[in-house]
Structure 1
Amino acid sequence: MRQGELVSPFPSASGHLTDGADEAIRPRASDWEQRYRRTVIITDTVVTALVASVIGEFFGARDAANWHEKWGILGFGTELLVLGALAVSRAWAPAVLGQGAEEFRRLGRSLFMATVVLALGGIALTSRNIKLWIFVAVPAIALVTMVARYLLRLWLHRQRKAGRCLRPVLAAGNPATVRDLITRTRKFPHLGWRVDAVCTPGGAGPDSDYVDGVPVVGRLAEVAGHVRRDGYRVVAVTPDPYWSPDRLQRLAWNLEGSDAEMVVAPVLMEVAGPRLHVDAVLGIPLLRVSLPTFTGGRRVIKEVVDRLGAALLLLLCAPLMVLVALLVVADSRGGAFYRQRRVGKDGREFTILKFRTMVVGAHRARAALADRDEGAGLLFKLRRDPRVTRVGTVLRRYSLDELPQLFNVLTGSMSLVGPRPPLPEESAAYGPDIRRRLLVKPGLTGLWQISGRSDLPWEEAVRLDLRYVEDWSLALDTVILWKTLRAVLYGQGAY
């Protein structure tokens, strides 16, 4: 099969460029984007229509005077409102489909907008059946639509990990910053970028004509010409002294009319999401970085969700926790629980609860194992730790040993999502930068949990925790909680 051939139900071209291929037969990288977008729109439309029809048919007959009130007008109106809200909120924009939490944030905003309009319309029309559509139909549409979007995203991510459905990128900047971009795109292929070519200030890389295996095709002044000739979908501009405001503006002008999207990496690499805003001040575009949110209404919502979520999970997991406790006691001498001092928000210490996974007195044997430490930075880790019991090995693999931490969440010392709770000796060795992890409550799960856990280098674990502190949002928490389930089931990086 040639590169770029159809290998999937709907998206086609992978974006791979073949040597010697001319413009007429080269696959357009935008084809799969357009097909994927159409698939999402069709899926949203079908799902909305089906849910509205089912709700109206099986529940709308109650107290309905005729079929119009049963589901005809209200059902059709609800569907139009939802689809219109999706269009207005740009929930079908190619830039957000399959990309991070923004896709689901826009989806949620659209459905909330539809609910508000529907409620106001129901009041104006004095409909007796409007509550059904506000409190049952729209939430059902939201649930089914989000599941459908997630399944489509899983399919897309599998294609990208196989090297398909990727957007070809031309990276332009300093070789060191370009190399970092290449490394990140290879590490996270599900994000959909593949750096195919590089432009550097001198037209050469540290490896002669290559930067980390990617060919250098020219100088920074030649970027627009290469984009128009070779059809790259993304121009990633990385930091370099060459990029003055005038040159960046000229590059943007030269890219007009092409299919390429220009992306400029800011100096504040770890600040993103809702904290970044572009404002025009005195005719000058400025990147405004708002302060991280540590208080306010959203934090109150997070506290409420934490307490209610922990209480609900404790009720659901109670039989499992009793079984685990019995297995721990039966497997080795000692109690079922292990208590340990950890450092929480603002440096306050608290006692964390876990199921015991090691033999009694394991902390006294740590010194003898110091020369076998496989952990990174301040963490002590062993893949085959002789102190871990047989039951403890299974509990650690599937993170069942952390279930008692729900009590810490319920009492307010921890959150469902947040940075990893450090030991006091770890916290004492923190520098000023790393201490920013302590500005928020530690979490039962977090970015570190869904990104590799114990397999992560220390620097990467710290970077993820700081990113969470800087860019926290309710949508990010929702995505992390959803992905935690998959991370736990696969057991990757847990030992």
Structure 2
Amino acid sequence: MVQTSVAVDEVSEGGPEQVRPRSGGIAGLPWLVKVRAGILATDVAMMALTFLTAQYVWFGGFSEPVASNRVPLSYLEISLLFGAIWLVALSAQRSRSERVLAVGGEEYRRVVNATVLAFGVTAILAFLFEIRLSRGFFLVALPLGLALLVLGRWITRRVLDHLRLMGRCMSDAIVMGEPADVRRVLTELAENRQAGYRAVAYSLTSGTSASWGNPGWTSVPEIAERDIVTRVAQDELRAVIVAGELPGGRDAIRRLGWDLEGNGVELILVSRLTDVAGPRMHLRPVQGLPLVHVTLPQYSGPAHALKRAFDVLFAGAVLLVLLPVFAVIGILVKAGDGGPVFFRQERAGANGSTFKMVKFRSMRVDAEALKATLMAQNEGAGPLFKMKNDPRITRVGGFLRKYSLDELPQFWNVFVGDMSVVGPRPPLPAEVEEYDAAATRRLLIKPGITGLWQVGGRSDLTWDESIRLDLNYVENWSLAGDLVIIAKTVKAVFENDGAY
């Protein structure tokens, strides 16, 4: 769900007399106070570990003095001062804001910005007060501190995600809009509890919900539009979510903001730009006209050069480290039926060019010849051929496929430039021939060993879902997003959902 969060005071200018704020806010969310306290404690612990480790690694102790023309300071005292600056920077960047907790990459971006800011301010203060600091100390502290802070946030995110899956630490919300838009938002909130919002009521601006059937969240009650403000005033609600557009357009949104102001709630507008990532959307107010700029995707340039450099380094490291594993798998495959160790198959790459993708052989030697006789039993989506109990898979191959070990040789394809570590699924040329205009856009960048399709359901995805995920990646990829997908891939592999 792509959403644009609008603070109430940003739409209330020129409205009626201010309503006295109720005593809600954070006080109405004790779980939020506890979560923020836990994150603060984690940040402090990670900073302390950073400074102690950096001082021990660089100086071999904890009492190394600092030369200063004004006051003598030890690195322990400098660390305490620096830690205070760091905490202030994290607060200034609102890295513990409810809006970014455990959702997307914005929280991590703010942590990175705060860390760079804190180190910059410390360097400036050291220069102004003539404090000579060891460069080596900070060369150790900067990357270590950033890594530990991000690790701490990741740990707290996993804890919060787990609590939200149990129905705890949720913010109550009312969803309003047209029936189709409301249904979409209610469905996404029910299926994605990690978003942190729980629909407690919905209001339709037109039509009825009679056509919804029984989607699983019919226990959510419907209320009249005129009762929304009354419900907000009575309950400890945190958000009113506007799904799509309201009758009356922006004036209706403005009036709703006036009605809600002073109640301690967020007004959230769900954008119809459902497949455009936040980093590509930029709000640019011009003479009172809120222009939302959507940056067009680029398929070359510095970012793609950086992606290629990452691919070479990552694939090279994997090939080097897993060489003994490759040898063991090769022996097992060969011993299974005496056939070749590797299976090479022509696949479509960037811009429709073809290459030979290499995998550990997991099927019988005559698998391709047998495929024609099994087409009637195809369980794959669209032009894909998949079978959950494919009789062509060997005994060793079944194990390799379960944990995606058969895919490991594809790191060679990445290393030589045919593929990327993260990207769309590499299709067969025969599949490409059946692509429509939208699906063809998958070929704008190199295919990947993993991608959104791998962490989003693998073979259990429908054809339309697979296309949507691949197109979303093609147009919105980032190196930070690639790292997140790689981390999620490890989890998906061990859970082996949709692996066949």
Query: TM-score, normalising length from structure 1?
Result: 0.88
Match of 2:486 among 477, 481, 486: 481
Would you say 1:30 and 2:29 are equivalent positions? yes
Q: Distance in 2 between matches of 1:378 and 1:112?
A: 48
* Aligned partners of 2:63 and 2:76 also within 8 Å: no
Aligned length: 472
Q: Distance in 1 between matches of 2:436 and 2:143?
A: 46
Q: Distance in 2 between matches of 1:244 and 1:84?
A: 40
Indicate how the Cα distance of structure 1 residues 199 and 97 shifts in structure 2: closer, same or farther if over 3 A, else same. Answer: same
Q: Distance in 2 between matches of 1:243 and 1:133?
A: 60
Q: Distance in 1 between matches of 2:213 and 2:413?
A: 55
Amino acid at match of 2:264: D
- Structure-2 residue corresponding to 1:416: 421
Would you say 1:350 and 2:350 are equivalent positions? no
1:50-449, aligned counterparts within 5 Å? 50-57=49-56, 59-61=58-60, 66=65, 71-119=75-123, 129-202=133-206, 204-206=208-210, 212-240=217-245, 242=247, 244-449=249-454
Residue 73 of structure 1: how far off its partner (Å): 4.0
Q: Distance in 2 between matches of 1:377 and 1:29?
A: 49
* Aligned partners of 1:169 and 1:196 also within 8 Å: yes
- Structure-1 residue corresponding to 2:47: 48
Q: Distance in 1 between matches of 2:130 and 2:466?
A: 55
Indicate how the Cα distance of structure 1 residues 427 and 225 shifts in structure 2: closer, same or farther if over 3 A, else same. Answer: farther
Indicate how the Cα distance of structure 1 residues 29 and 347 shifts in structure 2: closer, same or farther if over 3 A, else same. Answer: farther
Indicate how the Cα distance of structure 1 residues 112 and 411 shifts in structure 2: closer, same or farther if over 3 A, else same. Answer: farther
Residue 59 of structure 1: how far off its partner (Å): 3.1
Q: Distance in 1 between matches of 2:454 and 2:195?
A: 18
Residue 96 of structure 1: how far off its partner (Å): 0.7
Deviations 1:56-87 (A, max 9, x none): 24533589862666522432243234323322
Q: Distance in 1 between matches of 2:46 and 2:405?
A: 35
Would you say 1:493 and 2:498 are equivalent positions? yes
SS of match in other structure, 2:174: strand
Q: Distance in 2 between matches of 1:93 and 1:210?
A: 35
Q: Distance in 2 between matches of 1:250 and 1:394?
A: 60
* Aligned partners of 2:360 and 2:407 also within 8 Å: yes
- Structure-2 residue corresponding to 1:12: none
Deviations 1:398-432 (A, max 9, x none): 11111111111111111111111111111111111
SS of match in other structure, 2:453: coil
Residue 347 of structure 1: how far off its partner (Å): 1.5
Query: Structure 1 stretch 285-294 or stretch 301-310: which is displaced more?
Result: 285-294
Return 5+ residue gaps in structure 2 as ranges: 1-21, 67-71
Q: Distance in 2 between matches of 1:145 and 1:339?
A: 43
SS of match in other structure, 2:222: strand
Deviations 1:80-138 (A, max 9, x none): 34323322322221111111122222222322333444455566677665223322112
Q: Distance in 2 between matches of 1:332 and 1:29?
A: 66
Residue 166 of structure 1: how far off its partner (Å): 1.9
SS of match in other structure, 2:324: helix
* Aligned partners of 2:52 and 2:62 also within 8 Å: no
Residue 456 of structure 1: how far off its partner (Å): 1.5
Query: Structure 1 stretch 152-161 or stretch 66-75: which is displaced more?
Result: 66-75
Q: Distance in 2 between matches of 1:62 and 1:231?
A: 52
Q: Distance in 1 between matches of 2:62 and 2:205?
A: 73
Q: Distance in 1 between matches of 2:336 and 2:170?
A: 49
Amino acid at match of 2:142: V
Indicate how the Cα distance of structure 1 residues 368 and 110 shifts in structure 2: closer, same or farther if over 3 A, else same. Answer: same
Q: Distance in 1 between matches of 2:385 and 2:213?
A: 42
Residue 216 of structure 1: how far off its partner (Å): 4.2
Q: Distance in 2 between matches of 1:70 and 1:401?
A: 55
Q: Distance in 2 between matches of 1:147 and 1:63?
A: 25
SS of match in other structure, 1:365: helix
Indicate how the Cα distance of structure 1 residues 130 and 77 shifts in structure 2: closer, same or farther if over 3 A, else same. Answer: farther
Q: Distance in 2 between matches of 1:122 and 1:342?
A: 57
SS of match in other structure, 1:377: coil
Residue 181 of structure 1: how far off its partner (Å): 1.7
Indicate how the Cα distance of structure 1 residues 225 and 344 shifts in structure 2: closer, same or farther if over 3 A, else same. Answer: farther
Return 5+ residue gaps in structure 1 as ranges: 1-22
SS of match in other structure, 1:48: helix
Amino acid at match of 2:489: T
- Structure-1 residue corresponding to 2:19: none
SS of match in other structure, 1:270: coil
Amino acid at match of 2:490: L
Indicate how the Cα distance of structure 1 residues 221 and 199 shifts in structure 2: closer, same or farther if over 3 A, else same. Answer: same
Deviations 1:143-197 (A, max 9, x none): 2222221111111111111222222221111111211222222222222232221
* Aligned partners of 1:57 and 1:71 also within 8 Å: no
Residue 214 of structure 1: how far off its partner (Å): 4.2
Indicate how the Cα distance of structure 1 residues 259 and 390 shifts in structure 2: closer, same or farther if over 3 A, else same. Answer: farther
Task: Identify the structure with bigger relative contact order (alpha carbons < 8 Å, sequence gap 6+).
Answer: 2
Indicate how the Cα distance of structure 1 residues 220 and 244 shifts in structure 2: closer, same or farther if over 3 A, else same. Answer: farther
* Aligned partners of 2:200 and 2:221 also within 8 Å: no
Residue 223 of structure 1: how far off its partner (Å): 3.0
Amino acid at match of 2:462: P
* Aligned partners of 1:168 and 1:194 also within 8 Å: yes
Residue 358 of structure 1: how far off its partner (Å): 0.5
Residue 239 of structure 1: how far off its partner (Å): 1.9
SS of match in other structure, 1:385: coil
**Seq. identity, %:** 37
Residue 448 of structure 1: how far off its partner (Å): 1.2
Q: Distance in 2 between matches of 1:29 and 1:293?
A: 44
Q: Distance in 2 between matches of 1:42 and 1:63?
A: 23
Query: Structure 1 stretch 333-342 or stretch 207-216: which is displaced more?
Result: 207-216
* Aligned partners of 1:345 and 1:441 also within 8 Å: yes
Query: TM-score, normalising length from structure 2?
Result: 0.87
Amino acid at match of 2:321: L
SS of match in other structure, 1:90: coil
* Aligned partners of 1:210 and 1:216 also within 8 Å: no
